Amino acid sequence: MSYRIQSTPRKDGFRMPGEFEPHAGTWMLWPERPDNWRNGAKPAQKAFVAVATAISQFEAVTMGVSQSQFNNARQMLPGEVRVVEIANNDSWMRDCGPTFVVNGTSARVVDWDFNAWGGLLGGLYFPWDLDDVVARKVAEVERVDSYKAPLVLEGGSIHVDGEGTLMTTRECLLNENRNPDKNQKEIEDLLADYLNIKKFIWLNHGVYNDETNGHVDNICCFIRPGVVALTWTDDKSDPQYEISQENYEILQSITDARGRKLEIHKIHQPNPVLITEEESRGVDAVDGTLPREAGDRMAASYINFYLCNGGAIVPTFDDEHDKPALQALQALLPERKVVGVPAREILLGGGNIHCITQQQPKP
């Protein structure tokens, strides 16, 4: 049984935990659409297998997959990854999947509205109806009750510290293509009710050229309460420089829900990662989806990593900055094993490891 609850998590004493808190497992969705993933999604499927395999060293992984891809996914994934049929429009479990809240003894799901990162005002595909029911299906599979939140929101557009602080970007949450009828205060009130938030950290912009309208999970994240990692560049001529510098100043000037000043760690971005001719040619052209043009710069960032029980799964780009980023994150996360996974094929689809994973916390 999985019931819709006509209340809010805050009233019921539930809160969204930080990603660094213990997990019951990880949810993912299998990639297949050829107008987003090159070469019929075969290279992306291998990259998703590598991510699922890396996470499953640390915790249980469930892969949602369409009916037509079930046999292929089952055959490609290691036996310890559970494969369940979940119809979907694309494979971004972070964004269309559930946000879990906990109260110490049980977990529940917050089910947001999903409009494919902007609906008819610059959204990334149409339709998105299958994605919009993924969160509810996960709740059913897990027999977890759910709340329907009256807000268009993707999981990658928020990060929480589990102690009442939420970090996001204005570029995304206040974009007219998400909730045009709501102002900042109304959005904060809903996030306070549905995630039990007391303090909001508003960054202005996300990573340069990020097709999600600046998801926070690509630019800044909580390592633990009071400690954040921010994507960075020392190159003042790079368009990312001003964005990161401005975010650094915002982060320096605020306190979190517990009144702490934040400890901020800069993680240098990779050199610009551009789509090649061959990669561009491998993507099916379809009206209404984003063109993948050769030479376009992708929003590559090491911050799009995923924390799991005892591990951190970090994207790598075959770049000179990979090693320093992995070392810096290992130093920040001494209690975890940092595992780098080549992620160019995921980046080519418009996101990265954090965007394709969703944690199910332990109650």
Q: Does the protein bind ligand KQY through residue 124 (CB under 6 A)?
A: yes
Rounded CA separation 111/99 (Å) = 7
Q: How many CB atoms lie within 10 A of CB 164?
A: 18
Q: Does the protein bind ligand KQY through residue 132 (CB under 6 A)?
A: no
Rounded CA separation 278/67 (Å) = 30
**Contact indicator for 50, 77 with CB cutoff of 8 Å:** no
Q: Does the protein bind ligand KQY through residue 350 (CB under 6 A)?
A: yes
Query: Which stretch in 92-100, 230-238, 242-250, 273-281 sits in contact with ligand KQY by CB under 6 A?
Result: 92-100
Q: Select 32 or 163, whichever has its Cβ closest to ligand KQY.
A: 32
CB of 237 to ligand KQY, least distance (A): 25
Rounded CA separation 196/173 (Å) = 17
Which residues inside 251-290 make contact with ligand KQY, applying CB under 6 A? none
Residue of 33, 202, 41 whose CA lies nearest to 124:
33
Q: Select 196 or 352, whichever has its Cβ closest to ligand KQY.
A: 352
Q: Does the protein bind ligand KQY through residue 355 (CB under 6 A)?
A: yes
CB of 154 to ligand KQY, least distance (A): 6
Which residues inside 16-55 make contact with ligand KQY, applying CB under 6 A? 36
Annotated active-site residue 96? The verdict is no
Q: Select 95 or 193, whichever has its Cβ closest to ligand KQY.
A: 95
Among 89, 349, 360, 361, binds ligand KQY (CB under 6 A): 349
Q: How many CB atoms lie within 10 A of CB 320?
A: 10
CB of 173 to ligand KQY, least distance (A): 14
Residue of 165, 247, 171 whose CA lies nearest to 200:
165
CB of 72 to ligand KQY, least distance (A): 21
Q: Select 87 or 254, whichever has its Cβ closest to ligand KQY.
A: 87
Among 38, 94, 159, 292, binds ligand KQY (CB under 6 A): 94
Which positions lie near ligand KQY, rule CB under 6 A? 36, 90, 92, 94-95, 124, 156, 211-212, 215, 349-351, 355
Residues serving a catalytic function are: 355
